[in-house]
């Protein structure tokens, strides 16, 4: 039967991961097995020891009859053979006592995935709850707080020698569990000097990847454990705060910032941490406020290490240039001059696709040559195909061309007939087995419908001078699309400026379930067309699959 030393007080589950490590109960576990992985291999011995605040609470040790022969090389390594386990209980008889021993404790093991996998396999097979993840692995923790100059490798025996533990690993379960427990306490002592003080800190350290920057973890010491936005800066100088390197948001600013120092395998983050000398917190009261503030700070500071927030430089608009004598569609990077705009698009390629879709439906001129009312030159092939009204050779009157332009403008605000016609043409191309042409038209139509749907949502928000909404029980005010935080926000004009796209997107992402409590004037979106646009986008997406 299992040997259990000392009665164990039941501890409640540690829901608060911010609990200090001195108040955490750890159960260090070691298994001996017949091989490398279940279900082919079985447990032959279990050893465990519980500690809380550095004090031992009890031990658990038992041999286990695996029900299968123990390979000779395993017996040579562990000293456990078939004769030793002949009278031992099967794992079914051992697990009830082990479950009680582990209850309320944080599971610890060296190379913990091995022991964790074996125990959970048998627990699940026999109808018990699995041990909650993640386990604490002393090998991974050692990788966080020790360097190659400290130890040549992360074997348990090497770490036990480094910390001069009284228990030394012998490939027997209880001896190895005891050695693991002493190594854990040595690692926690070193980790405490580097800022690993709570269970949250410990789990972040064990889970992290990449090179550590624990020497800078103190930068997080004064940060609040609240939702909000944080900014990594270079060290301050006499001239003022250092350059903003990176902006991010988190549900818990302090915990998120700490996680960076435990290791991050993204190269740009590693380089950023090497330069960082300060972290500036900006607490927020809600998710929408944090999203908007993050977008604003990225726009204001243009941090070198933020990828998100810089994409707007690649955005483009589709412009119907009404300043020209014979208006045409253009892909442009900024708003200027008289015209009707659609966008911004996420790329000039998407804008060109929407342009091609509109030119598929409207015989507007496509040439880039400058033209006055009386300019004349030889027409291109599109005129003979009926794809252009060809003002270049005088075959169309200014009045008729202006009517075409007005029809195009109307289609951008009420696109139902336009989209139906383009979808019908796509279907006819497919029926004629002109699949490549149909696919090209589908992609153009997808870019156009995405831009039209986006424009509806943005204008709904931007046209309200004073809008108050309730999201998840909190009220927020918007002025022409800008969240009011300080009171001096003036909002945005239409078409939406490129550098405001991220902020408005952030606001719209949270307003799907919002309740409007006040609006002046009332925000309005055309009733007709919204459902048709959404349905068409679903059909186009399905056709790609």
Residue 46, SS3 per DSSP: strand
Task: Label residue 9 by pLDDT band (50, 70, 90).
Answer: very low
Sheet harboring 244-250: ordered strands across? 244-250, 228-233, 278-283
Residue 387 has pLDDT above 90, yes or no: no
Q: How far is CA 454 from CA 217, 291, 497, in A?
A: 42, 19, 14
pLDDT tens digits for range 31-54: 999 998 888 999 999 999 999 988
CATH topology of domain 3-199: Nucleotidyltransferase; domain 5 (3.30.420)
Q: Is the Cα torsion angle 332, 336, 338, 341 positive or negative in sign?
A: positive
The DSSP code sequence of 262-296 is T----HHHHHHHHH--EEEEEE-SSHHHHHHHHHH
Domain covering 211-309 in this structure, CATH number: 3.40.1440.10
| CA 543/CA 545 separation, integer angstroms | 5
Section 157-164 average pLDDT: 95
Instruction: Give bridge partners of residue 479 from the DSSP assignment.
Output: 482
Confidence of residue 197 (pLDDT cuts 50, 70, 90): confident
pLDDT tens-digit series, residues 395-441: 888 999 999 999 998 888 888 888 888 888 888 888 888 888 888 88
**Choice among 239-243, 440-444, 521-525 with the minimum mean pLDDT:** 521-525
Let me know: does 144 contact 133? Beta carbons within 8 Å: no
- The closest alpha carbon to 14, from 210, 194, 202, 142, belongs to 202
Q: Which pLDDT belongs to residue 7?
A: 38
Task: Tell me which range, 191-200, 336-345, 509-518, is most confidently predicted by mean pLDDT.
Answer: 336-345
pLDDT tens-digit profile of 65-90? 999 999 999 999 999 999 999 999 99
Give the whole-angstrom CA distance, residue 199 versus residue 14: 9
Averaged pLDDT for residues 525-537: 59
Separation between Cα atoms, residue 402 and residue 322, nearest integer Å = 10
Amino acid 114: pLDDT: 94
Q: Is the dihedral of CA 474, 479, 481, 483 positive or negative?
A: negative
Task: Label residue 12 by pLDDT band (50, 70, 90).
Answer: very low
Q: Above 80 in pLDDT, residue 540?
A: no
- What is the separation of C-alpha 212 from the centre of its chain, rounded to a whole number of angstroms? 21
Check whether 13 has a pLDDT greater than 50: no
Of the candidates 137, 146, 185, 129, the residue with the CA atom closest to the CA atom of residue 13: 129
Measured distance CA(68)–CA(384) in Å, rounded: 86
- Residue written as token pair 């406020």: 289
pLDDT, residue 260, reads: 82
Omega prior to 545 cis, within 30 of 0? no
Other CB atoms closer than 10 Å to residue 370's CB: what's the count? 9
Cα dihedral sign, 29-32-34-35: positive
- 9, 95 contact by CB (below 8 A): no
The CA-atom distances, in angstroms, between 190 and each of 160, 262, 487 are 14, 13, 48
Q: State the pLDDT at residue 529.
A: 53
The domains of the chain are located at 3-199, 211-309, 313-431, 454-544
Tokens 């015209």 — which residue?
339
Which of 4-8, 171-175, 370-374, 378-382 bottoms out in mean pLDDT, i.e. has the lowest? 4-8
pLDDT at 311 exceeding the cut of 80: no
User: Each residue of 208-240: b (16+ CB within 10 Å) or e?
Assistant: beeebbbebbebbeebeeebbbbbbbeeeeeee
**What is d(CA 480, CA 500) in angstroms, rounded to the nearest whole number?**
12
Q: Is the sign of the CA dihedral 499, 503, 506, 509 positive or negative?
A: negative
- 482: part of which helix (H) or strand (E)? strand 482-483
For residue 58, the SS3 value is: strand
Residue 297: its pLDDT value, please?
A: 92
Instruction: Give, in order, the Cα–Cα distances in Å from 363 to each of 302, 357, 359.
Output: 42, 11, 6
As to burial, measured by CB atoms within 10 angstroms (0-12 exposed, 13-18 middle, 19+ buried), residue 374 is: exposed
Q: pLDDT at residue 296 above 60?
A: yes
pLDDT at 57 over 90: yes
What CA–CA distance (Å, rounded) separates 372 from 83? 103
pLDDT band at 4 (very low <50, low <70, confident <90, very high): low
pLDDT score of 15 more than 70: no
Residue pLDDT, tens place only, 127-155: 999 998 889 999 989 988 887 889 999 99
Instruction: Tell me whether the omega of the peptide bond preceding residue 215 falls within 30 degrees of 0, making it cis.
Output: no
pLDDT at 214 over 80: no
């Amino acid at each position: 039967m299992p040997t259990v030393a000392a009665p164990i007080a039941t501890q409640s589950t540690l829901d608060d991961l911010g609990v200090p490590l001195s108040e955490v109960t750890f159960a260090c576990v070691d298994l001996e097995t017949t091989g490398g992985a279940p279900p082919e291999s079985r447990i032959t011995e279990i050893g465990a020891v519980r500690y809380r605040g550095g004090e031992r609470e009890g031990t658990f040790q038992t041999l286990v009859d695996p029900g299968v022969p123990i390979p000779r090389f395993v017996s040579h390594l562990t000293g456990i053979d078939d004769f030793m386990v002949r009278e031992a209980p099967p794992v079914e008889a051992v697990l009830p006592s082990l479950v009680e021993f582990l209850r309320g404790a944080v599971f610890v093991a060296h190379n913990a995935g091995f022991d964790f996998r074996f125990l959970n396999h048998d627990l699940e097979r026999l109808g018990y709850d699995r041990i909650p993840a993640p386990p604490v692995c002393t090998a991974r923790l050692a990788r966080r707080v020790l360097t190659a100059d400290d130890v040549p490798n992360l074997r348990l025996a090497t770490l036990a020698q480094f910390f001069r533990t009284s228990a030394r690993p012998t490939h027997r379960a209880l001896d190895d569990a005891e050695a693991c427990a002493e190594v854990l306490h040595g690692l926690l002592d070193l980790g405490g000097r580097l800022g690993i003080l709570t269970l949250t800190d410990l789990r972040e350290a064990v889970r992290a990847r990449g090179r550590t920057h624990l020497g800078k973890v103190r930068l997080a010491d004064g940060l609040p454990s609240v939702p909000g936005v944080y900014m990594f800066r270079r060290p301050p100088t006499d001239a003022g705060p250092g350059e903003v390197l990176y902006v991010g948001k988190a549900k818990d600013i302090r915990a998120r910032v700490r996680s960076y120092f435990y290791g991050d395998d993204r190269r740009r983050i590693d380089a950023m941490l090497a330069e960082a000398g300060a972290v500036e917190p900006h607490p927020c009261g809600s998710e929408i406020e944090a999203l908007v503030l993050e977008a604003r700070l990225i726009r204001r500071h243009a941090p070198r290490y933020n990828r998100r927030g810089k994409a707007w430089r690649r955005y483009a608009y589709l412009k119907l240039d009404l300043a020209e004598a014979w208006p045409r569609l253009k892909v442009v990077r900024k708003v200027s001059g008289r015209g009707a705009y659609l966008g911004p698009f996420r790329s000039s390629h998407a804008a060109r696709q929407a342009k091609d879709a509109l030119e598929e439906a409207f015989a507007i001129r496509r040439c880039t040559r400058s033209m006055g009312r009386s300019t004349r030159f030889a027409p291109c092939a599109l005129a003979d195909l009926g794809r252009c009204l060809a003002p270049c050779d005088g075959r169309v009157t200014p009045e008729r061309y202006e009517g075409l332009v007005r029809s195009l403008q109307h289609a951008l605000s009420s696109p139902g007939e336009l989209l139906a016609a383009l979808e019908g043409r796509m279907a006819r191309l497919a029926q004629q087995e002109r699949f490549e042409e149909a696919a090209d038209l589908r992609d153009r139509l997808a870019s156009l419908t995405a831009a039209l749907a986006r424009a509806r949502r943005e204008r709904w928000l931007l046209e309200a001078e004073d809008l108050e909404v309730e999201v998840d029980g909190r009220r927020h005010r918007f002025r022409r699309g800008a969240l009011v935080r300080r009171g001096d926000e003036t909002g945005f004009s239409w078409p939406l400026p490129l550098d405001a796209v991220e902020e408005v997107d952030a606001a719209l992402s949270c307003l799907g379930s919002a309740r409007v409590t006040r609006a002046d004037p009332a925000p309005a979106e055309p009733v007709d067309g919204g459902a048709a646009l959404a349905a068409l986008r679903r059909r186009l997406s399905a056709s790609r699959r």
